[in-house]
Amino acid sequence: MRSLKTAWKHIRRSPYQAIVSMLTLFITLLLTGIFSLATVSSIFVLQYFESKPQLTVFFTDKAGEQEVNVLKKTLDQTGKVASMKYVSKEEALVLYREQNKNDPLLLEMVTADILPASLEVTALRPEFLAELEPLIKRSEGVEEVVFQRDIVENLLRWTRGIRIILGGLVGLLVVDTILVIMVVTSMKIALKKEEIEIFRLVGASRWYIRSPFIIEGVTYGVMSAILAWLVITGIVLWYRESIAAFFQSIPIFQIVLGNPMDTPFIASSFGFLGVLSCVGFILGSLGSFFAVNRFLR
Amino acid sequence: MIRFITVSKHYLGHQALKDISVDIENGEFVFLIGPSGAGKTTILRLIIRDILPSSGSILLDDIEVHRIPHKKVHHLRRRVGMIFQDFKILQDRTVFENVAIVLEILGRKPKDIEKEVKDALSLVDMVDKMHKFPAQLSAGELQRTSLARAIVMGPKVILADEPTGNLDSENAWKVLSILQEVNKLGTTIIMATHNMDFIKESNYRVISMKDGSIINDEKPKTKK
């Protein structure tokens, strides 16, 4: 209680220093929040594409069960395949009919003989696709290999790029924030040098001296986190429909962004607030901890 | 008991203390005298472990003061009260609050704090000034506030570093008289001073220092 009162007194008596600390923390947490959301979204998008058959092998009409089994065995032995699904000519026709059920003209001319049998292959990791491709092409009875390598590779490239740039930026901001809080706390310590000296001489423990400063840093961190969360939640709510429409084929976005009054949105939103508050707590406490420790050494 | 065993202290080439060995018994009143730079303040700072000796050992009862980890020094300082020539009083707090700090640090309840602070202020005759701020007090009153802060936690030892240096004669004698009262209650008092009148007029042990060495250790004369 005493630490809380003292921390509040520190904040009240130096409002400009408090604003500088909070603004810096706010910008860091805002960008960290946006970066985290972008990263999580990219993971979901990647997972979605990775869950789809990444590679489809079309067989020649002459290819029989033996060729299919040989290819299956070869792929299985690589240890890089997550799953394989054989689609016969008849099953391909069923799928074709389902996909084009609203267009009778397209259905009239097509029979099972026209459609090739295929093998849908999902790799354990998207990077394995390039290694599997030549292996498949060399196999007997294979007519064509169609795969989503370009989509996945582009996605990987973009997400890696985004992670590196934003990660670097957030890293810089984290260091900058800790330094700003250290400088602000050090200024306050310098103003209270005599008081701290007296506290030490009359038997105050290090924690007794340190706690108001750390609580002050934590207050900046948590308040900035709440502000950043409010701004990010506002942005997400404002663009909710556009984001949901952009990712319409990915179910998780529809579930979370479907209705802001539903549990998934509320739960993920408050979960996000919890994560941001933890980051704010850590940054605020670290900055002030380092500053006080330097003085108490 | 406070025991210095061949203690030396160097400050950047300057030797502040040279192989000091001295014992101070519990309940003793000791004057430390000597010119500026003799090593009086160094001795006091070593006892509260504000500084560490360059060599030798310092014992407070069975505690090896110089071996106390940095993180636990506050336990020692809660047993040793200290008063200074420049008072070291917080300007933005009242007399009551300045004294109460010590008990707040110890985690005492507000009700107990009020009683104990009033008792300490009563001993130094400052109860009527307890709601005043330091700027409203005289030097003598500031030193008595500082004294109340030192005695409020009931320390085993009080270290006084030229506590009367900034006071007029009347206030200086008043401070000494309070320290004598506290000593009668069993507290060890070690007082560094330049005031030779104190030494002439009282019968206490006097340790004389010069250039970091003890040049004379005069025990109190036994009463006839």
Q: Tell whether A20 and A161 lie within a shared domain.
A: yes
Give pLDDT tens digits along chain A (297 positions).
767 777 777 777 778 888 888 888 898 889 888 888 888 887 787 777 766 666 888 988 888 888 888 888 988 899 988 888 898 888 888 888 887 777 777 777 777 788 888 998 888 877 787 788 888 888 888 888 887 666 667 777 877 787 788 788 888 888 888 888 888 888 878 878 888 888 888 889 888 888 888 888 899 889 999 999 999 999 988 988 888 888 777 778 888 887 888 888 888 889 999 999 998 899 888 888 888 887 777
Q: Tell whether A31 and A77 lie within a shared domain.
A: no
Q: Tell whether A292 and A260 lie within a shared domain.
A: yes
pLDDT for the residue numbered B224: 44
Mean pLDDT of chain B, nearest integer: 92
Q: Tell whether A176 and A241 lie within a shared domain.
A: yes
Largest CA distance in chain A: 97
What are the tens digits of pLDDT across the range B128-169? 999 999 999 999 999 999 999 999 989 999 999 999 988 899
Q: Tell whether A178 and A236 lie within a shared domain.
A: yes
Q: Tell whether A118 and A178 lie within a shared domain.
A: no
Q: Tell whether A171 and A274 lie within a shared domain.
A: yes
Q: Tell whether A157 and A277 lie within a shared domain.
A: yes
| Boundaries of domain holding A82 | 53-147
Q: Tell whether A215 and A161 lie within a shared domain.
A: yes
Q: Is the dihedral angle over the CA atoms B26, B28, B29, B33 positive or is it negative?
A: negative
CATH code of residue A62: 3.30.70.3040
Provide the shortest C-alpha distance from residue A195 to chain B (in Å).
6
Measured distance CA(B90)–CA(A6) in Å, rounded: 15
Q: Considering A85, A114, A147, which residue would you say is the last residue of a domain?
A: A147
* Tally of CB atoms within 10 A around A133: 15
Interface test mutation site (partner B, options A202, A206, A209, A297, max chain B beta carbons within 10 A)? A202
Of B50, B74, B82, the CB nearest to A204: B74
For B111, B158, B160, B192, B221, the CA distances from B209, given in Å and listed in that order, are: 45, 20, 16, 10, 20
> Could you tell me the pTM of the whole model?
0.67
pLDDT for the residue numbered A51: 65
Q: Tell whether A16 and A163 lie within a shared domain.
A: yes
CATH of domain B26-53+72-217: 3.40.50.300
For B45, B111, B202, the CA distances from B41, given in Å and listed in that order, are: 6, 36, 22
Q: Tell whether A174 and A256 lie within a shared domain.
A: yes
Query: How many domains are contained in chain A?
Result: 2
Provide the shortest C-alpha distance from residue B184 to chain A (in Å).
22
pLDDT for the residue numbered B145: 95
- Residues of chain B with Cβ-Cβ distance to A205 below 8 Å are 74, 105
Q: Is the dihedral angle over the CA atoms B4, B7, B12, B16 positive or is it negative?
A: positive
Q: For chain B, first and last CA: distance in Å?
A: 27
Q: Considering A147, A166, A192, which residue would you say is the last residue of a domain?
A: A147
Kindly calculate the radius of gyration of chain A based on its CA atoms and give it in whole angstroms: 29
* CB contact burial A172-200 (16+ within 10 A = b; e otherwise): ebbeebbebbbebbbebbeebeebbebbb
Question: In the 8-state DSSP scheme, what is residue B91?
Answer: T
**Which residues pair with residue B80 across a beta bridge?**
B157
Q: Tell whether A62 and A41 lie within a shared domain.
A: no
